[in-house]
Amino acid sequence: MNVNGIGAAGYPVAGYETRRTERNVAGGKFADAINKAATKKETNAFRPESSDEVMQAWDKALAETGVNPFPMNRISTALVLHVESGQQGLSSTFLGDSVGSAKSMVEKIIHRLENPLTPAANPDFAGQELIFYKKFLEFLG
């Protein structure tokens, strides 16, 4: 109840509204800072291990496309293929240890993205994955 500009708790309503707005703005700034930090950490959250040549191609594809094929909030096609093959989770060596093994895995991923068994849960992410892996395959030679 509001009587003569004083709210039920005895605080002026205008002051309460101002303070609430200040807290929301401060909370938004804090959340923005956390999200920026999370984005930086996310880009390095999963990095496969392979030969230097494969990793150079990986890094070039990341830089050129700006697509992280392993975001924290999505299930990647590479992970799905790895689990389907009977492996427990995605190891950091899923590309193998040579350019040939990396090409083989990337071709499987591209084939799955172009010919999904079921419609993609997130078509936008699937499209980004496809762009990344095609670029990665191009850099593998």
Q: Please give the Cα distance from 121 to 69 (Å, whole number).
A: 15
Q: Are residues 107 and 131 both part of a single domain?
A: yes
Q: What's the total number of domains in the chain? A: 2
pTM here is 0.64
Q: pLDDT tens digits for 75-129? A: 888 888 878 877 666 666 778 888 999 999 999 999 999 998 888 888 899 999 9
Using CA atoms, how far residue 3 sits from 17, 18, 19, 132, in Å, is: 16, 18, 19, 62
Specify whether the CB–CB gap between 4 and 13 falls below 8 A: no
Q: Are residues 68 and 53 both part of a single domain?
A: yes
Q: pLDDT tens digits for 58-68? A: 999 999 999 98
Structural domain of residue 76, as residue ranges? 47-140
Residue 3 β-bridge partners = 6
Count CB neighbours of 83 within 10 A. Answer: 13
pLDDT top residue among 9 and 127: 127
